[in-house]
Structure formats: structure tokens, C-alpha cells
Amino acid sequence: MLIRKKFGFESAHIVRNCSSDRCRRSIHGHSYKVEVLLEANAFDNGQMVYDFGLMKGTIRDVIDAFDHAVTFWDSDHEDYIELCKQFSARWISLPVSPSAEQFSRVFFVIIDALLKQTIMQNGEHDVVLHSVIAHETETGYAQCFRADAYNPRMGELKLEDIVFSDQVRAEWMDPDMYERLKRGESFTNPEVTMQVHTREDD
Ligand SMILES: Nc1nc2c(c(=O)[nH]1)N=C([C@H](O)[C@H](O)COP(=O)(O)OP(=O)(O)OP(=O)(O)O)CN2
């Protein structure tokens, strides 16, 4: 069975070398929607694949990192990268260009690692990431499946090559979360989560 949880963030970028002129050489922003699809063949103690509330921990933090941030390709012009860092406290550097396709791959690789390193507490069974959908606009989206995430022909995505600015990390529940993820440390789920409403929950 599949479950799907939707998140949102507002972010700015340029996508170099694409066909759309407005997109390739002008900084512009989108109200992104990201759908995270999880899969399992059995239920937890609450007869769920995975409690939606649990997805509002590290998974939400990683997606929210991109909110009110500028995301750039680390192969972009060095002057542009320098200006992004100088004039935006919140920035993310990616080893790939920030197209909808690459956003969906970036989220897949990070969330996949998070899930693999999460110690479940409520009888969850073999919960795996099925896919990630990144909606760039109301009409355009990309969906990344496992084979896409780890496909070197689409660009190699290593956790250590994705860099979050100091301000982004400072706003996480655990500012050390991404460093812990890269070190392969475990994340233990809370036994109970407290309800915190977000726009997407309404
Ligand atoms: N396959 C992709 N195509 C395009 C991407 C992308 O990430 N993957 N990105 C862009 C630009 O970022 C652009 O801003 C969005 O393009 P588009 O969908 O054409 O945007 P509109 O605002 O014009 O959307 P409409 O709903 O069609 O008005 C370009 N292409």
C-alpha cells in the first residue's frame, strides 16, 4: 500500500541551459509542492503504513530547508554563487541544476537515507520510499523513482555534495541533523508525536 504526504515551500533559482529563456538566465521563484510517497506491505500498531505525524520531523525539516531560500547549482558562475551567498542567508548548493527533476531526486536521496537510518517505534514494517513528486508550478511536476535517484546518467547525488547554509541548519529542530545523517547515525522516532498544524494539514 502507498501513502502520500504533501509539503510546500517557496524558493528561488535559475535553471541553466534549459530551453525556456525566462528560466535559464533570470532568477525566479516557485511555490513548490512536494509529495512524499511511502510504501509498506504491512501496517504498524495503528494500522497505518507510517503515521503522517512522523513525517513532520526530519522529512519536513529537509523539505522546509528550501523555503525562502535560493537554490543554486555548484557549477554555476562563481560570481553568481558568491552573490547568492552574500545576499541570502538561506541558500542551498546542489551538485545538480535545480530543475523540478533534480529537486525530486535530491529529496529522494535525502529522505531515503533518513528512513533507512530511522529506528521505528510503533511496529512499522519495511517502510520504504516509493517516489517523490516535485511540483514546480500548478501544471508541471517531476516524479522520481528509486532507479532515477541513483541513476548516474542523471548526475551523481551524494549527500556530502548537498550543502545547506548556516541559517538553514540553525532553523532545524536539530541543527546537527544533516551532519548526523552524513555520518550514518540513527534517528529514533518519538513514541508519540504532538500535533503541530501546518498549511498543508488544513
Ligand atoms: N521539464 C522541466 N521543464 C521546465 C522546468 C523544469 O524544472 N523541468 N522548469 C522551467 C522553469 O523553471 C519555469 O519557470 C517553469 O516552466 P513552465 O511550466 O513553462 O512555467 P509557467 O509559469 O509558464 O507555467 P504555465 O502553467 O504553463 O503557465 C521550465 N521548464
Q: Cα of 7 to ligand 1 centre, how many Å?
A: 19
CA separation for the pair 109, 62 (Å, rounded): 11
Complex prediction ipTM:
0.94
**Consecutive H or E run containing 9:** strand 2-13
Atom of ligand 1 lying closest to residue 102 CA: 7
Reading the block at residue 172, the C-alpha cell is 532545524
Reading the block at residue 71, the C-alpha cell is 537554490
**Look-up: residue for cell 501544471?**
139
pLDDT of residue 194: 80
CA separation for the pair 141, 178 (Å, rounded): 26
pLDDT of residue 12: 98
Q: Which residues of 154-181 are buried (b: 16+ CB within 10 A; e: fewer)?
A: eeebeeeebebbeebbebbeeeebbeeb
Domain ranges of the chain: 2-190
Q: Cα of 22 to ligand 1 centre, how many Å?
A: 9
Atom 5 (ligand 1) nearest CA? 99
Q: Cα of 8 to ligand 1 centre, how many Å?
A: 17
CA separation for the pair 9, 134 (Å, rounded): 11
Ramachandran assignment for 120, one of left (phi > 0), alpha (psi -120 to 50 degrees), beta (any other): beta
CA separation for the pair 109, 111 (Å, rounded): 6
Q: pLDDT for 140-165, tens place per residue?
A: 999 999 999 999 999 999 999 999 99
CA separation for the pair 63, 34 (Å, rounded): 8
CATH number for the region 2-190 comes to 3.30.479.10
pTM: 0.95
Q: pLDDT for 18-58, tens place per residue?
A: 999 999 999 999 999 999 999 999 999 999 999 999 999 99
Beta strand pairing call for 91-94 and 163-164: antiparallel
Q: Cα of 152 to ligand 1 centre, how many Å?
A: 24
